[in-house]
C-alpha cells in the first residue's frame, strides 16, 4: 500500500470541463522522509515508516531523537507506517536524488515527493481524525428524529432518547445502546476520492469531496 502523510489546508471548488462546480479539499501531501525500513526477517512483516512536518528538538522525546538520528534526518511531527510499500510502483521509481530506491537500510533518510507517489486521476483513500463535537444528544449523535408530532400529551421530550430497556427483566441496559455521549474525534477513512489536480512544486493536491478533520489536521493518503 503506497501513500504519503499530508496536512488538510481547507476546502475550495473548481470547475470541470463540463462547467460543473466540484467541491474539493486542498491537502499538502509530503514530502515525506523514510525514517525506518521494516523487513520480514527482522520484524515479521514488510513496511516503510515515513515522517512528515518538522518538529522542534526540545519537543521531541530522547528515544525519538535517536530514532530520527539513525535515519539521518531531523525530528518529525507525524510518523506513519505503510505496510507492503511498493517502491516499484513509484512514478518514476526514484527518490528525490533521482537514483532508484531499494528497500534497504541505505534508503533511510530518502525523501518521497508528491510526484513520486501520486498522479492526477488517481483514486485514493484518506484517513484522518474527525472533528470533536463534545458531549452531544441522541438527535445529533445518532440521528434520532425526536418527537415530530408533538400533539396532546407531549411535554419536554422533543429530543429525548426514549426507553433504554425494560425494568425487572432483563434489568440491564444492553451493550451498544445508542445514547448521548462524547461525539467526534474518531479515526475515519474516506474511500475512493479522486485526485482532481496536483501542484507538485507546492506539494499540493486537490481531492474531490470532503475529508475528515479540521484545518491543519494531519491526514494519511493511501493509494
- Taking the C-alpha atoms of residue 206 and residue 114, their distance in angstroms, rounded to an integer, is 12
pLDDT of residue 93: 46
127 and 140 share one domain: no
Q: pTM of the predicted model, to two decimals?
A: 0.82
79 and 168 share one domain: no
105 and 215 share one domain: yes
Give yes or no for residue 99 having a pLDDT over 70: no
Residues in contact with 93: Cβ distance below 8 Å, sequence separation at least 6, in sequence order: 87, 100, 101
Q: What is the DSSP-derived secondary structure letter of residue 120? A: T
94 and 139 share one domain: no
- Taking the C-alpha atoms of residue 210 and residue 119, their distance in angstroms, rounded to an integer, is 19
177 and 216 share one domain: no
How many CB atoms are located within 10 Å of the residue 12 CB?
Answer: 11
Q: 185 to each of 66, 68, 128, 133, 213, how far by Cα in Å?
A: 31, 29, 9, 8, 8
108 and 46 share one domain: yes
Give the three-class secondary structure for 71.
coil
70 and 126 share one domain: yes
User: Helices H, strands E: what count in the chain?
Assistant: 4, 12
Write out the residue range of the structural domain in which residue 171 sits.
135-183
Convert the pLDDT of each residue in 141-172 to its tens digit: 999 988 877 777 777 788 889 889 998 988 99
97 and 163 share one domain: no
| 106-115, 122-131, 157-166, 188-197, range with the lowest pLDDT | 106-115
Domain count for the chain, please give it. 2
123 and 149 share one domain: no
Grid coordinates 474539493 are at which residue? 24
Pairing state between β 47-54 and 123-129: unpaired
- Taking the C-alpha atoms of residue 105 and residue 123, their distance in angstroms, rounded to an integer, is 30
pLDDT band at 207 (very low <50, low <70, confident <90, very high): very high
110 and 211 share one domain: yes
pLDDT band at 101 (very low <50, low <70, confident <90, very high): low
88 and 43 share one domain: yes
67 and 31 share one domain: yes
- Taking the C-alpha atoms of residue 6 and residue 220, their distance in angstroms, rounded to an integer, is 6
Amino acid at each position: 500500500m503506497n501513500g504519503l502523510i499530508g496536512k488538510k489546508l481547507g476546502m475550495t471548488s473548481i470547475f470541470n470541463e463540463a462547467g460543473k462546480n466540484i467541491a474539493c479539499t486542498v491537502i499538502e501531501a509530503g514530502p515525506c522522509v523514510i525514517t525506518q525500513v521494516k523487513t520480514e526477517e527482522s520484524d515479521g512483516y514488510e513496511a516503510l515508516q515515513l515522517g512528515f512536518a518538522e518538529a522542534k528538538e526540545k519537543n521531541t522525546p530522547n528515544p525519538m531523537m535517536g530514532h530520527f538520528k539513525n535515519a539521518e534526518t531531523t525530528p518529525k511531527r507525524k510518523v506513519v507506517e505503510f505496510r507492503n510499500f511498493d517502491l516499484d510502483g513509484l512514478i518514476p521509481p526514484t527518490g528525490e536524488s533521482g537514483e532508484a530506491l531499494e528497500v534497504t537500510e541505505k534508503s533511510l533518510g530518502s525523501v518521497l515527493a508528491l510526484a513520486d507517489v501520486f498522479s492526477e486521476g488517481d483514486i485514493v483513500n484518506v484517513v484522518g481524525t474527525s472533528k470533536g463535537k463534545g458531549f452531544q444528544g441522541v438527535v445529533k449523535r445518532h440521528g434520532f428524529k425526536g418527537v415530530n408530532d408533538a400533539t396532546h400529551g407531549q411535554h419536554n421530550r422533543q429530543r429525548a432518547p426514549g426507553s433504554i430497556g425494560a425494568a425487572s427483566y432483563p434489568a440491564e441496559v444492553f451493550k451498544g445502546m445508542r445514547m448521548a455521549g462524547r461525539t467526534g474525534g474518531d479515526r475515519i477513512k474516506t474511500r475512493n476520492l479522486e485526485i482532481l489536480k496536483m501542484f507538485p512544486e507546492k506539494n499540493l493536491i486537490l481531492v474531490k469531496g470532503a475529508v475528515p478533520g479540521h484545518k491543519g489536521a494531519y491526514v494519511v493518503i493511501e493509494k
